[in-house]
Amino acid sequence: MEYQQHTHSAASIYSFSFEMKSRCCRAGPLRVGRSLRDVYTAVGVGLPLVGRKICISDQREQPPRREYTPHEVGAPRVVGPAGRPQALSQIFYRFPAPDRNNFASQSIHSPMEYRQLGRSGLKVPELCFGAGTFGGNDEFFKAWAETTQQEADRIIGICMDAGLNFFDTADVYSNGSSEEVLGKTLKAYKREDVLISTKTTFRFGPGPNNLGSSRYHMIQQLEGSLKRLGTDYVDVYHMHGFDATTPVEETINTLDQFVRDGKVRYIACSNFSGWHLMKSLSLSERYGWARYVGHQVYYSLVGRDYEWELMPLALDQGVGALVWSPLGWGRLTGKIRRGQPLPPDSRLQTKVVLDNGPQPDQEYLYNVVDALDEVAKETGKTIPQIALNWLLGRPTVSTLIIGARNEEQLRQNLAAVGWKLSPEHIARLDAASAVQRAYPYWHQAQFIERNPLPV
């Protein structure tokens, strides 16, 4: 006998059951089993759902039985043919066609999956475009690319065609130029058809108050971002880093006010430690303030530290991961290989980029690339596509923030969705990328009977 425990927020289960009920009612009479009544009971009294399943069937057409078990945050699944997991969004969600004049006038069938951002009601595409290369005008961002306004227009158009309508930037990216270029491009679309994410915290000019997460700096920076983006609100607003000198109460209270004022829809953080995030969440709970629903983190096949502390925390607290640099700071592009020199156009040729990013062991990197090479040959995919698809199958991942120097690179990255690696391939990549955990995580791994690993 196997015993399983599933935890999920009552609010998200209610949202899911409402969507299922609505769809079935359109198709014909709805028969709701006892387990669905249990869901409403649990929602009504605020009890956790433990090991229950939601079963839906249509009396008129009698389609194959579908089941949904409360699952990890950010990656809902339903049971498809032969018991294989099937993306929930591929059954229910269809993104509108990218018609700039009437964006929502028709529907297209896109392989892009839309996932819930943590324990929120916001659904985001599994790929997000990072606009850090837009308007590149300093040494750091020039090393990645210098995307002009005309090039940005074409890139955003390709993204929208593919169902990718989520765009990430920050106030410090090229001193605000990234936000300006992105804002000009998105004017061609209806505001409600795109999702915009931006960030603040890092220094944005001289002066002792022109940095950090203080009320003073945050108000100033949000107003500046809105002006540069040409919008009156942002969908996701991140704290780009943790400010240890500003009281957390001041930061969260200011963010809550942004939400109440309608200038921010959802709040998120980036590059936090576990205790940074947990303290922030506890204050939101204590005072009824807006809470972080997302955490923008570094996570890749050559950087799996996120799994040790932040992933279990995200599972427990319902915080979706927005993964930055999913190709390991440019190391998993397929251009870096054992025994070959670094390509002359690699961003890693720039010292400021190399010094300010992750520093994996070279032999470890080559071992991972070798494994990726084998899987790529067996699947007919590219190394970047394999690396991105592996991440999409990890718990808590809501979206991967991808970038591109040109249209060809973008189309290659967009092709990382719509298919899944086999369990054998995943296991092979897991083994090649495994590293010795730091304390106390190596010790905790010895007690998986009651402290199971998230992956």
Instruction: Tell me the pLDDT of the chain averaged across its residues.
Output: 81
Tell me: the pLDDT tens digits for 177-193? 999 999 999 999 999 99
Q: Which residue has the tokens 């936090």?
A: 272
114-444 fold:
TIM Barrel (3.20.20)
In the predicted structure, residue 31 carries a pLDDT above the cut 60: no
Q: How is the chain split into domains, by residue range?
A: 10-70, 114-444
3-state secondary structure of 195: strand
What CA–CA distance (Å, rounded) separates 124 from 268?
Answer: 14
Which pLDDT score, from 0 to 100, does residue 347 have?
66
What CA–CA distance (Å, rounded) separates 169 from 139?
Answer: 17
What CA–CA distance (Å, rounded) separates 313 from 318?
Answer: 8
| Lowest-pLDDT choice from 5-9, 10-14, 300-304, 401-405 | 10-14
Kindly indicate the confidence band of residue 11, based on its pLDDT and cuts at 50, 70 and 90. Answer: very low
Kindly indicate the confidence band of residue 24, based on its pLDDT and cuts at 50, 70 and 90. Answer: very low
3-state secondary structure of 279: helix
Amino acid identity at 447 = F
Tell me: the pLDDT tens digits for 323-376? 999 999 899 998 888 888 877 777 666 777 767 778 889 999 999 999 999 999
Which pLDDT score, from 0 to 100, does residue 143 have?
53
Which pLDDT score, from 0 to 100, does residue 349 have?
63
Measure the N-to-C terminal CA separation of the chain; round to a whole number of Å: 22
Kindly indicate the confidence band of residue 435, based on its pLDDT and cuts at 50, 70 and 90. Answer: very high
Tell me: the pLDDT tens digits for 230-245? 999 999 999 999 999 9
Burial letters 8-23, b for 16+ CB under 10 A, else e: bbbebbebbbeebeee
In the predicted structure, residue 73 carries a pLDDT above the cut 90: no
What CA–CA distance (Å, rounded) separates 335 from 369?
Answer: 10
Contacts of 162 (CB under 8 A, 6+ apart): 110, 112, 127, 414
Kindly indicate the confidence band of residue 153, based on its pLDDT and cuts at 50, 70 and 90. Answer: very high
Tell me: the pLDDT tens digits for 104-114? 323 334 689 99
What CA–CA distance (Å, rounded) separates 327 from 172?
Answer: 22
Kindly indicate the confidence band of residue 1, based on its pLDDT and cuts at 50, 70 and 90. Answer: low
Contacts of 285 (CB under 8 A, 6+ apart): 291
| Lowest-pLDDT choice from 34-38, 53-57, 442-446 | 53-57
Residue 380, phi-psi category: left (phi > 0), alpha (psi -120 to 50), beta (remainder)? left
Contacts of 410 (CB under 8 A, 6+ apart): 129, 155, 158, 159, 402, 404
How confident is the model over 148-176, as a mean pLDDT?
95
What CA–CA distance (Å, rounded) separates 146 from 426?
Answer: 35
In the predicted structure, residue 55 carries a pLDDT above the cut 70: no
Cβ proximity of 283 and 249 under 8 Å:
yes
Which pLDDT score, from 0 to 100, does residue 328 have?
95
Tell me: the pLDDT tens digits for 246-259? 999 999 999 999 99
Does the N-terminal peptide bond of residue 440 adopt cis geometry, omega within 30 degrees of 0? Answer: yes
What CA–CA distance (Å, rounded) separates 143 from 403?
Answer: 13
The neighbouring-strand residues paired with 196 are: 167
Which pLDDT score, from 0 to 100, does residue 335 have?
87
Helical segments of 93-241, H only = 139-142, 149-161, 177-186, 215-229
DSSP state of 272: -
CA nearest to 389, candidates 157, 111, 189, 20: 111
In the predicted structure, residue 96 carries a pLDDT above the cut 70: no
Tell me: the pLDDT tens digits for 282-331? 999 999 999 999 999 999 999 999 999 999 999 999 999 999 999 998 99
In the predicted structure, residue 203 carries a pLDDT above the cut 50: yes
Which pLDDT score, from 0 to 100, does residue 438 have?
94
Kindly indicate the confidence band of residue 406, based on its pLDDT and cuts at 50, 70 and 90. Answer: confident
Rg (CA), the chain: 22
How confident is the model over 197-216, as a mean pLDDT?
96
Which pLDDT score, from 0 to 100, does residue 342 have?
76
CA nearest to 92, candidates 117, 115, 69: 115
Which pLDDT score, from 0 to 100, does residue 341 have?
82
Cβ proximity of 297 and 323 under 8 Å:
yes
Which pLDDT score, from 0 to 100, does residue 139 have?
62
Kindly indicate the confidence band of residue 405, based on its pLDDT and cuts at 50, 70 and 90. Answer: confident
CB under 8 A, 24+ apart: contacts of 36-39: 39/13, 39/14
In the predicted structure, residue 135 carries a pLDDT above the cut 90: no
Amino acid identity at 388 = L
Q: Enumerate the active-site residues.
A: 173
Cβ proximity of 239 and 201 under 8 Å:
yes
How confident is the model over 387-397, as a mean pLDDT?
98
